[in-house]
Amino acid sequence: MLISRRSLLGVGTVAGAGAIIGGRHWSGAPAFIARAAAQPAPAPLAPDDPRMTERAIGKADAPVTVAEWFSLTCPHCARFSADVLPQIQTRLVDTGKLRMVFNDFPLDVVALTAAMVARSLPPERYEPFCAALLASQDRWAFARGVNSTEELAKMAALAGMSRDNFNAAIANTALRDAILKKQDDAGKTLHVDSTPTFIINGPAAHNQSVSGEQSFDDFAALVAKASG
C-alpha cells in the first residue's frame, strides 16, 4: 500500500515559544523546549551543515518564492500537502512561476523528532519523506498505543536510513537546537505563530505572511498578485 503520493526514495537555547497542535497559535513556553533549554548546550552546527540547508522545489530564478512553515503533526499541514501541493507542483512550480521552500516549525516533541530525521536524510529525500509522514499521521503520530519513535524508524528505513543513523539523528542535540533556533527566529522576525504559515516574496510582495489552509485557487491568486 502506498504511504505517499511519491516514493520515499524519490527524487541553541530557545525561549519565548509554545505549542498547540493543529494550526493554532504558538505562544508561551512548551515543556519540550524548556527541557531542551535546561540541558548543556552542545557545540552548534556549522553554518553550512547540509542538514540545515534550504529544502525547496522549483527553479532558483522563479519570480515568486513561497516559504511554508509547517509541523509534521499538524492536520492542516497534512491536508495542504495532500490536496493542494500536488497542484502547486504541476501548475506553478513545474511551469517556472514559483519556488517553494519548506521550513520546519514543530509544534510538539513528536514533530521535532520527525523533523530531525527528515533533515538527516539526503536533501532530495526531505520533501518526499515529509509528504509521506504528513499523509500517514494517523499511523505514526496519533494512533493509540503506538510508539511514535519506532514508527518513525520504520518510515526512515523505507527512505533508506539505517537504524544506527536513525538513532544518531534523534540523539543529535545540536541538530535539535538548530531546528528550534530557526523556528524561534521565524517567530521573532517573520511573526510565524501557527501552521501552516506561508511567507510570500516576489516583485510585488515582501515577506507577506498568510496563515492557515489555502485552497489551490486562493494560493495561486496570492502567487499571481506577488508576481506583479
pLDDT in tens, 25-63: 444 344 555 555 556 666 788 778 999 999 999 999 999
Q: What share of the chain has pLDDT > 90, as a percent?
A: 78
Helical residues (DSSP H) of the chain, grouped into ranges: 31-38, 75-79, 85-88, 109-120, 123-135, 137-140, 148-158, 163-170, 173-189, 216-227
Name the DSSP class of 121: S
What domains lie within the chain, and their CATH numbers? 31-227 (3.40.30.10)
Residue length, the chain? Answer: 228
- φ/ψ of residue 67, rounded to 5: -100, 120
The string of pLDDT tens digits covering residues 148-161 is 999 999 999 999 99
* Predicted structure pTM score: 0.82
